[in-house]
Amino acid sequence: MDENTNSNDTPLWGGRFGSTPAEAFERVNASIPFDVCLAPFDIRGSIAHATMLGERGIISDDEAKELVRGLKIVLTEVEAGEFAWTIADEDVHTAVERRLREHAGAVAAKLHTGRSRNDQVALDFHLFCREASEKIIAALLETMRAFVDVAEANRETVIPGYTHLQRAQPLLLAHHLLAHFQTLRRDVRRFEAAREAANVSPLGAAALGGTPHPTDPERTAELLGMEPLVNSLDSVSERDFALDLLYACSVLGVHLSRMGEEWVLWTSQEFAFATLSDGFSSGSSIMPQKKNPDAYELMRGKSGRLIGNLSALLVTLKGLPPGYSKDLQEDKEPVMDSVGSVLAMLRVLPEMLRTATFHPKQMREAAGGFALATELADYLAMNGVAFRDAHHAVGRLVRRCEELGLELEELSREELVSAHPELAGFPGELLTPEGSITNKKSLGSTSYKSVERQLAAARDLLETGR
């Protein structure tokens, strides 16, 4: 064999080595078990690079065409799941180049001109994170749509609002669901920011300091729909875009966890506010009566690894000097895991919401009683009583009700007036969940009018993107 050429059993960097890698080293060094999902991005990056090399006359037009043709065949193989991956290839970049050589022959050895695996892997990972952000944004919008649909279908349903998980005041269920809509809307913004951070092409940085070849990093960036790098050293060293994505996934994970907890409570026999459809519940292997909200529990549980993945990459990056270090290979699995987890949850949530059944009677019952006490205090305060005094008078009344085993609604007018003379004119309908809800006047409140406005704005946002 000609010693100047590379063969399949020598690594592509094998020129200065007297022997092939030890098997145990090869296994720990290889990223191929997980970086195969970068393959489509790697190939698209290489197509842009080869095109630019041809345009700049660094390789001939025919060579560029041959490379692009070969790369497209490799892409088809990858997409069809027909690519034969082997750990001896070390990483996806090497694997693709090896296969390209099998399709395009010797010209494959020119593809890497003016490029390093350092800017190549950074580019692949940018493209991966950009696409992941886009997929998550689309899934978030779908979930937001489900929240609006369910809110709209349950316009009249009232629910107790809680503070400290103690019944606080009645709310419209739609108001509650639209609160989650706002949460997810902020998540969309975080993923948009993560997408923007990922949309910068490091290609052209080569190993770290650029290249003597007359390459055109602006052109490759343009071909990939990205912004070009500004500083070659920074662009091969930084993984901030991955942190941004992991952070967005962590915050979303915390949100989904809180929603999960809520549904675990709602579907318990103690709350009995809602029942999940059979398609989104599972049973017990021993207790025949059980119907468990597993998906919501997993939504709560997965927040642990989402936060862990962010911590993992932060710690990996801490202390790394500028320039590529192999530690950076550890950047991929946390991101792939978080993206996969988030997408899996967002794929189950919209339909699980839409197919659940609410129990308005139970919810309404829990939304009355002492949850209406603030109405009495607010009425007094609106009729000239200082709010602190009003609060005190109603507090005493609640204590009296507890002693008598009565609800506020069950008190006679005399009892109200004996709590405070100004309650003589108190409108009785305010001691109903619906009356209390109607009575709210402030911006963004749970009143029927406010919720209608919120629904219209939410619909508008989904339709116009604003």
* List of residues contacting ligand ARG (CB under 6 A): 31, 35, 91, 117-118, 121, 324, 328-329
- Is 223 in contact with 48 (CB distance < 8 Å)? yes
- Report H helices in 158-302: 173-198, 217-223, 232-237, 240-266, 294-301
Show Cβ contacts of residue 226 under 8 Å, excluding neighbours closer than 6 positions: 126, 130, 199, 200, 201
Phi, psi of 359 (to 5 degrees): -120, 85
Q: How far is CA 349 from the centre of its chain?
A: 12
Rounded to whole angstroms, the Cα distance separating 25 from 94 reads 17
CB 217 within 8 A of CB 288: no
How far, in Å, CA of 416 to CA of 283, rounded? 50
H or E element in which residue 317 lies = helix 303-317
Q: Which residue has the tokens 């180049």?
A: 97
> Residue 182 or 329: which CB sits closer to ligand ARG?
329
Q: What is the largest CA-CA distance in the chain?
A: 107
| Cβ closest to ligand ARG, residue 117 vs residue 167 | 117
Active site residue: 7, 19, 164, 285, which one?
Answer: 164
Nearer residue to ligand ARG within complex by CB, 274 or 328:
328
For ligand ARG, which is the closer residue by CB, 116 or 281?
116
Alpha-carbon distance 298 to 342, whole Å? 11
Rounded to the nearest whole angstrom, what is the least distance from the CB of residue 208 to ligand ARG in the complex? 10
CB 363 within 8 A of CB 274: no
Least Å from the CB of residue 121 to ligand ARG: 4
If we measure between CA atoms, which residue out of 202, 209, 237 comes closest to residue 45? Answer: 202
Cα 388 to Cα 262, 385, 391, 393, 419, distances in angstroms: 33, 8, 5, 9, 14
Rounded to an integer, what is the distance from CA 235 to the centroid of its chain? Answer: 25
The DSSP letter of residue 4 is T
Give residue 24's Cα distance to chain centre.
36
Nearer to ligand ARG, 234 or 261 (CB): 234
Q: Is 164 in the active site?
A: yes
Radius of gyration of the chain (CA): 31
Return d(Cα 382, Cα 242) in angstroms, integer: 53
Annotation says 103 is catalytic: no
Catalytic position from the list 60, 268, 277, 284 = 284
| Residue in this structure with the two tokens 């978030």, named with its chain if needed | 140
As measured in angstroms, the least distance from the Cβ of 13 to ligand ARG is 8
Pull the structure tokens for residue 170. Answer: 């009645």
Contact 115, 206 (CB under 8 A): yes
The catalytic residue positions are: 164, 284
